[in-house]
Structure 1
């Protein structure tokens, strides 16, 4: 006889008793009825041989799903769903999972003890007959076992299920790439200011085109951070770290961020500051990010007018009535966003920045000299990483990635030319990428040499042109001085 049969028989007995009790209450005073009811409930509890623990999908009026409920769902999907007769399928891209359908029961065993899990849902009575929405349903799992095993069930088994469920989540977790918008979105039962897609960028530290020594230094820094929870707590700091990636366009700043996310298995929050209305919304966005994540603000020198803010305040004291065009432009910029440098600094390391843990905050810029020193000081941007032009060591990584080459007769020529000419890794990679099936590795290397020669010539012509313009300006200044003397 199954647990369901036992419960059916007991339910029939209980229903009969409740029917008799309803008739009994009509003939006896209310106080006496209450005393008899309490006595009756104690007797039923005394003879009922099972204990039941309920895990609700939502706690109270919270929108977010219960962590315990989700852990149980993952545990049962992996360990016990093969016993269920009715399953629910959930397919997101290439990720497939099945779980118990509503009102389904499965049996689990722990240390020789049988546990019964039931998936149940309830619908509010006022909406059960009329129209109701799926969001009105309240789901929960019920765990039932013999009461003589109470200590094992409550003390060991429940924790075992939660730990296993969390471990499964870590193994099967899909990284996400988030972006913010001006309006709120709904995902499931949660309202959020972020929208997301699955993050599938292939960049890793093995394929990252960078000097090996510099790469190893960054790799060790990241791994040390990920294992330093107790250390950060000991020194009284929030478990977060700031990285400033700076350098010319095409030097691999975005690829570096993707490699960091793939190494640490973190989600990425790509924060677009121009879509944030004010400092309050910026704080809400921060609160809505998860732990184990990277918060990125790319091209921060272009995102907002946060460069030279303190100088600008002095200039703004001048009246704008004399220059209506300048005033109109300022009003237009003000309507776009009211995020301030102070608000951004509080976002990075203020009190609200401690609302989560295990986070990286990354700024990228092409012009580090334009940023306010307060924004990039140590403690906010803890590690500054220069993403520079392609060197020979970087080229060898790219040659291995794109051409599967570790050595070639042309490498010595390319080594010499890279010392004389500046070219970004992105431009080098474009030359090394075969454009047709007939193009071989040597053709790609020759194309790179030709591009380096052209870049060297262009740089030489710019120097000559600059010198000519400088001489011309000196001559104009001399002529101007002569005319003034006359």
Structure 2
């Protein structure tokens, strides 16, 4: 422990060293050595400091924790701090970071911590996290994992959701920004069904502890079935926006080996929705013109084995969505519990779905023509897509649009 007199002597020597340093030591190295001296003087037995380096030389890679901390602290920099601003990879957002020797005070669950951006050695940055020694367990077990989680959420918000395409058995190098505005608020399905789906998604999202306790992989399977135009793709987009998960469009028709399928599945990360559209086509044997093999049928079996086997535990927090126009065409083995946890039937447009569409497109909550439309929907067997198509025709006259819809439904009845 440093006494006050010794500390004063060291400070005096420090001032003299600073004078010499100005003459003989380059400026970019002075801050580093001065900071090390300051750490020695303010060392306190009650404080605990964790150093998070920018680079892991033993792995020859950037440190993931460092990147997570930098993302997290970028949201904590206040207006009085000196900032560094960088353009993100997508060139649409700016990343705000701490300057060297800048400090930020953060509060986590009543525990105050101090972050400092510094250089462990010239040219390599690091973050120092200092807190009271008695909070060491909470910081290691709760605070740092929280930063990792928040960093993922922040990056997802900045980059936007993505649609990844699986083609010829391998993920394509380029992805598409999923700019689909569909949400559960605007989704035109029955209110009770919508409520049930949202509750199920919430239970899944918050179910990590539950899945670990029962010894099952943290995954969920949804079967969405119904005629074309009933909103299967819109529901998937609403699920992705609600959970903030990327979508992987899985085209497995050309997968011809177990190793290839494993490679595809293991490249899909956590927090993702894997979509298998028109899955009934994959299970039906189709002869390959070049090889004569029934590859789709084999792929179907391989996928079921992957979903049930030990490889399914290699990724967690994933949702599998299978779509089909006709559930009767699906192999019963796919429908058993544990594979398809929830069956979602999307039917023809109901009056509740129509009212949602009328509000979305015309901003109408009620109209004198609604009762007539309600009657016609019971026999017209129109899909939500067909109804939406009639409501989207260019005119500002909502009554005229509803009259045209009535004529369309009357013709289908």
Inter-partner Cα distance in structure 2 for 1:284 and 1:117: 39
1:214 equivalent in alignment to 2:193: yes
> Which has the higher mean CA deviation after the structures are superposed, 111-120 or 366-375?
111-120
Name 2:321's counterpart in structure 1.
362
Inter-partner Cα distance in structure 1 for 2:94 and 2:232: 33
Alpha-carbon distance change, 52 to 173 in structure 1, aligned in 2, over 3 angstroms = closer
- Structure with the larger helix share: 1
Alpha-carbon distance change, 150 to 212 in structure 1, aligned in 2, over 3 angstroms = closer
Inter-partner Cα distance in structure 1 for 2:85 and 2:121: 15
How many residues were matched structurally?
A: 372
Deviations 1:95-154 (A, max 9, x none): 3223357xx4423446888654225799xxxxxxxxxxxxxxxx95424589xx784796
Q: TM-score if structure 2 supplies the norm length?
A: 0.76
Which residue, out of 309, 312, 334, partners 1:375? 334
Which residue, out of 87, 90, 98, partners 2:88? 90
Q: TM-score if structure 1 supplies the norm length?
A: 0.65
Inter-partner Cα distance in structure 1 for 2:112 and 2:186: 49
Name 1:444's counterpart in structure 2.
401
Name the SS for the 1:79 alignment partner.
Answer: coil
- 8 Å CA contact retained: 2:169, 2:261: no
Inter-partner Cα distance in structure 2 for 1:76 and 1:118: 14
1:348 equivalent in alignment to 2:307: yes
Inter-partner Cα distance in structure 1 for 2:234 and 2:374: 24
Inter-partner Cα distance in structure 2 for 1:264 and 1:112: 31
1:331 equivalent in alignment to 2:314: no
Alpha-carbon distance change, 286 to 417 in structure 1, aligned in 2, over 3 angstroms = same
Which residue, out of 115, 126, 144, partners 1:142? 126
Deviations 1:273-299 (A, max 9, x none): 135453322212222222222111111
Structure 1 residue 162 displacement after superposition: 5.8
Which residue, out of 272, 287, 290, partners 1:293? 272
Inter-partner Cα distance in structure 1 for 2:187 and 2:50: 54
Structure 1 residue 367 displacement after superposition: 2.2
Name 2:117's counterpart in structure 1.
117
Inter-partner Cα distance in structure 2 for 1:441 and 1:426: 18
Name the SS for the 1:331 alignment partner.
Answer: coil
Structure 1 residue 245 displacement after superposition: 0.5
Name 1:470's counterpart in structure 2.
none
- 8 Å CA contact retained: 1:117, 1:142: yes
Alpha-carbon distance change, 160 to 226 in structure 1, aligned in 2, over 3 angstroms = closer
Which residue, out of 135, 152, 164, partners 1:178? 164
Inter-partner Cα distance in structure 2 for 1:214 and 1:345: 27
- 8 Å CA contact retained: 1:346, 1:353: no
1:249 equivalent in alignment to 2:222: no
Name the SS for the 1:179 alignment partner.
Answer: strand
Name the SS for the 1:389 alignment partner.
Answer: coil
Alpha-carbon distance change, 58 to 260 in structure 1, aligned in 2, over 3 angstroms = farther
Name 2:51's counterpart in structure 1.
53
- 8 Å CA contact retained: 1:299, 1:363: yes
Structure 1 residue 301 displacement after superposition: 2.1
Name the SS for the 2:163 alignment partner.
Answer: strand
Structure 1 residue 58 displacement after superposition: 5.0
Structure 1 residue 405 displacement after superposition: 1.5
Which residue, out of 197, 202, 222, partners 1:223? 202
Structure 1 residue 251 displacement after superposition: 0.4
Name 2:3's counterpart in structure 1.
none
Name 2:68's counterpart in structure 1.
71
- 8 Å CA contact retained: 1:75, 1:164: yes
Deviations 1:313-366 (A, max 9, x none): xxxxxxxxxxxxx7x7372666x8795222110232321111122221100011
Structure 1 residue 203 displacement after superposition: 1.0
Inter-partner Cα distance in structure 1 for 2:342 and 2:213: 21
Name 1:131's counterpart in structure 2.
none
Instruction: Structure 2: give runs of 5+ residues left out of the alignment.
Output: 1-10, 26-35, 44-48
Q: Rg bigger for which structure?
A: 1
Alpha-carbon distance change, 100 to 193 in structure 1, aligned in 2, over 3 angstroms = farther
Deviations 1:17-50 (A, max 9, x none): xxxxxxxxxxxxxxxxxxxxxxxxxxx99x9667
Inter-partner Cα distance in structure 1 for 2:191 and 2:360: 15
Inter-partner Cα distance in structure 2 for 1:145 and 1:252: 49
Name 2:150's counterpart in structure 1.
167
1:107 equivalent in alignment to 2:86: no
Inter-partner Cα distance in structure 2 for 1:156 and 1:84: 30
